[in-house]
Structure formats: structure tokens, C-alpha cells
Amino acid sequence: MSAQLTVRNVSKAYTDRPVLDDVSLTVKPGEHVGIVGENGSGKSTLLRLIAGVDAPDDGTVTVTAPGGIGHLGQTLDLPDTHTVRQAIDAALADLRAMELRLRELEADLTEDRLGEYGELLSTFEARGGYEADARTDKAVQVLGLGSIPYDRPLGALSGGERARLGLACLLAASPEVMLLDEPTNHLDPAAVVWLEDRLREHRGTVVAISHDRLFLDRVATATVEVEHATVTRYGGNYTAYLAARAAMRRRWEQAHADWCRDVGEAEHALATTAQRVAPGRAMTDNNKMAYDRNGGRVQSSVASRIRRAKERLRRLHENAVPAPPEPLRFTGGFGTGATSGVLVHFEGVRVGHRLVVPDFHIEAGQRLLVHGANGAGKSTLLRVLAGALEPDDGTVHRRGRIGYLPQDPNFVNPARSVLSTYASGLPGYPDEIRDRLRASGLLDPELFVRPVGTLSVGQRQRLALARMLSRPADLLLLDEPTNHLSPTLVEELEQALDVYPGALVVVSHDRALHGRFTGTRVLMSEGALV
């Protein structure tokens, strides 16, 4: 198989907002490309353009794949009345049509049909057509869908189940070109590792958007960054991308520093030239004619040097090297209150069958990483800790200020502006509060006037983080805090948490976060702390 994937001079805008501007990209046959970028930068738009789901405003997208193209999400573009079996059948329709044609050709394999048969057989075998059913069963089991009857309607599935079924269908079809948008969402660690191995074995082309840094490290052979409506290609996996990006920024910073130095020297020369050229020269021998003649030469020299200094300054400003943009980051880190001792104490707490905790407490400065399978009760635990959910039985004692970040932050008034939502309850003048939100680096200032209801999930996550940063907290409760955030912002979040001195309870499936977490790990199973 030899897929060709080329994006040439492509532009795409939504409501007059440019998402991609004259971008070009080539993906070689068999490459595994990871796409990274900030929330709303245009990553999904780029993938939809490659998949042919959207059309560019300008430019061309060319994808030639004899072995087929698969886009995560296309398979389940079916009515809710369709069943799981029908979704799988739709995904495998191409392979089954190829197999049927092979049987037809084999039944009457004349010489003039040998060419067609050979090409078709090569493509079918390259896509693992003979193993398609076994591959389907394996994907369904590993992705946690084995207990779902094949006759269940798609409308009866949860969002996570639909996403995993879409991924299972794509992997079962095994097209030559796989286009994946956040494929590790809704997967447990074992399923993510299996997916990584499956994609690494894929001999065709893979283009995947992901916030999972270990996934990008294990799968990607090249990395594409989408930023400011442009794309930049880097060789290697995510770690190599970080190193190259850091080196590029250092070169940019040095070029800006050199430009500032040159401008300073030119301005200094312009300001001091007249004083440096024969300053205060006295007349000698009362020879006024010679003095005036020499003075004229001095003035001519001064004027020439001033002209040269002005010209140099003009050229420098025409070819200015601006400072590199500040990266989104936690400029102040998390604050902390002064409360000591036990901050939260559970006594006989129960929430239906979801949570049963007879005795549990969190002390100031304690750090807990709560992990466990989906449905184990982790989010319920955090909601009760935060006071967002009252238990059916038992009591919860709290001291100090608690900061809580749910998985999918929602705000009470979706029509309220971003800035007004951020400012709610905060002391200070409006300009001061605006400056504090801008200084957090979490949201572009152009978003400040937008209603929070129009924000993407990732942007709402950033606003919720900004709210948490705005006040000191004795205890932070973070439920899957790396979801919907770019990898670079996740690293900044982890760095901020590393130096946070307060108590911390984190629920996360993020393997990189697990690897660097310092503190106590707590396993939850069937609503209980193990």
C-alpha cells in the first residue's frame, strides 16, 4: 500500500475567524503523525479536511489510499435506531465487498481476470481482511464493549460507549489511512496500551490528534503543531517535538535580544554623534578662515554619521524581530490557605451503591492520587468531598477553603461573559480583575467578552482553572484535570501542582501524571477505598 496525503495552501474560516491560513502539509506513506496544539487551534478542522468531511475555503487536499481511509467518528454517523451489529457491518462493508469479489473472480479465474484478482488480493491481505472478524471481536472486548448486545440500538449507548464502538469499528476495518481524533478518550490504561501496540503494528498511515503524551511518544514518528492558523512539522515523537520547540524558542529569544541590542546601539549612536565628533574644539592662532573651513568638514562628518545611523535604525525597524509570544502558563502557581490539621473527615458516608466510606480523612498538605476502573466511584468521592453532592447517610466535616475542578465544568449562567463569570465574587476593580485573568495566560483576551455557553469544553476547563488560581485554597480536588487540555498546558499544570503546598486529591487516568506524582496512591473499587 502507498497512500499519498497532501495539504496544499489550504485556508479555512468559520464566521470570518481564520482557523487555518494557507497551510501546507505532506504525510509520507506509512508515517504515524501526531497532531498537537492548544484548544481551538484548528486540529480537528485539519483532520476533518483531510478526511473529506469538510471542504477548504481555498487550497487543495489530496488523499490517495488504495487501502481505504477511516476517520474516527464517521462509522457512527448512523441513525440512533441502528444497532451495534449494523455499525460494525457498515465499518466492514468495504472488506466484505472485496472478499465477495475475490470469490467471484476465483469461481471463473480467466487470464484476463488475473490482474484484477492479484491487485485485489494484495490489498485485501494488506488490510488483514481474513482476520477482520477476529479483529472485531478482540477490539470489542479490549475496549470494554463485550457486555453490550449486538442488537442494542446506538441511541441506547452512552457517549463513551459510542466513542469506543467507533474506535473498535475503525480498527476492525483496518483502512490504509487512519485519521483519529483523541482516540484514547474513554479508555482505561490497559486499553490504551493495546491501542498503541495496534497502531504501531499498522503498516499504513496514521494521523492522530491526542493530548496523551505517552501515546504520542509511543505511536508518533513525526509531530505536527497547529498554532495561530498555521502548521509546523517536527521530526520524531512528542519528546523530540518538545526539545525542538524549546530550541526554536531559544533561537527566537536570542534573535530578539540581538535585534534589541542593535537598535539600542543605533539609537545611542544617533543621540551622541554630534557630541563625539570634535566637541568643543578651540580656535588656534586666531586663524578664523581655517577654523571655519575645518568646522565645515566637522559638520559634514556629523551629518554623514547621523544619516548613516538613521538609515541603520530604519532598516532595523523594517526588519524587526518581535519578542516570541508568551506561552500559556500558570504565572502565579496555586495559592494556599493557612489551615492546618484535618481538612475533611468522613463518618459513615454512603451515596446509594456508588460510594461507601465508613471513615476517611484528609490532612493539610496531604497528596492523594485516586485511581480505579470506570464506575468505581472516584468522581462521586470528589463531589462529596467538595460539597457538590450530599451523602444519603453519614456526615462530612470540612475546614478551610476547597477548590474543586469537575471533569466537565459548567457555569450557572451560560449567557454571562467569560470575564464576568471569572470576576464573580472576586475583590478588586474591573481593570485589575481583567489583568489577573490575562496574566493567568489561560484564555485569549478576545474570549473575555464571549458568553461562557459558546466556549468549547477545553476553554471551559481553562476558565475553571483560572477561577481556581484566583484564590488561595487549602485543598484542591481535581477530577481528570488533564482531559481536554493540550499536552503543553498539561505539563504546566503538573509543574504548578508539583510546588503547590496545600492538600491535593487528584483523580486521573493520565499515565504521565501517574508517573511523576509524589504522594499516596489510593485504589477505589465498587465505591470503596481499597
Say what the alpha-carbon torsion angle 104, 110, 115, 120 is, to the nearest 10 degrees.
10
- Mean of the per-residue pLDDT values for the chain? 87
CA distance 493 to 513: 10
Mean pLDDT across 44-60: 94
Q: What is the pLDDT of residues 166-184, one digit of tens each?
A: 999 999 999 999 999 989 8
- pLDDT score of 278: 47
Instruction: Please answer whether residues 232 and 23 qualify as being in contact, where contact means their C-beta atoms are separated by less than 8 angstroms.
Output: no
pTM for this model (two decimals): 0.74
In sequence order, the β-bridge partners of residue 63 are 5
- Considering only CA atoms, which of 41, 10, 12, 7 is closest in space to residue 27? 7
Residue 266's contacts (CB-CB under 8 Å, 6 or more residues apart) are 309, 312, 313, 316
- Cβ(19)–Cβ(191) below 8 Å: no
Chain Cα centroid distance, residue 513: 15
Give residues with Cβ within 8 angstroms of 469, minimum separation 6: 330, 332, 334, 335, 440, 442
Taking phi over 0 as left and psi of -120 to 50 as alpha, with beta for the rest, 505 belongs to beta
Please tell me the predicted confidence (pLDDT) of residue 79: 86
| Nearest residue to 448 (alpha-carbon basis) of 420, 411, 419, 410 | 419
Closest CA to 458 of 193, 241, 217, 185: 185
Phi, psi values for residue 42, rounded to 5°: 115, 10
Tell me the residue type at 136: T
pLDDT at 306 > cutoff 50: yes
**Least-confidence region, from 48-52, 137-141, 156-160, 525-529:** 156-160
Edge-to-edge, what's the strand order for the sheet holding 4-14? 17-27, 4-14, 58-64
Supply the pLDDT for residue 464: 92
**Amino acid found at 497:** L
Cβ burial, residue 450 (10 Å; 0-12/13-18/19+): middle
Three-state SS string across 257-270, please?
HHHHHHHHHHHHHH
* Percent residues over pLDDT 90 in the chain: 51
- Which letter, b or e, does each residue of 52-77 get, where b requires 16 or more Cβ atoms within 10 Å of its Cβ? eebebeebebebebebbbbbbbbbbe
C-alpha cell at 432: 485589575
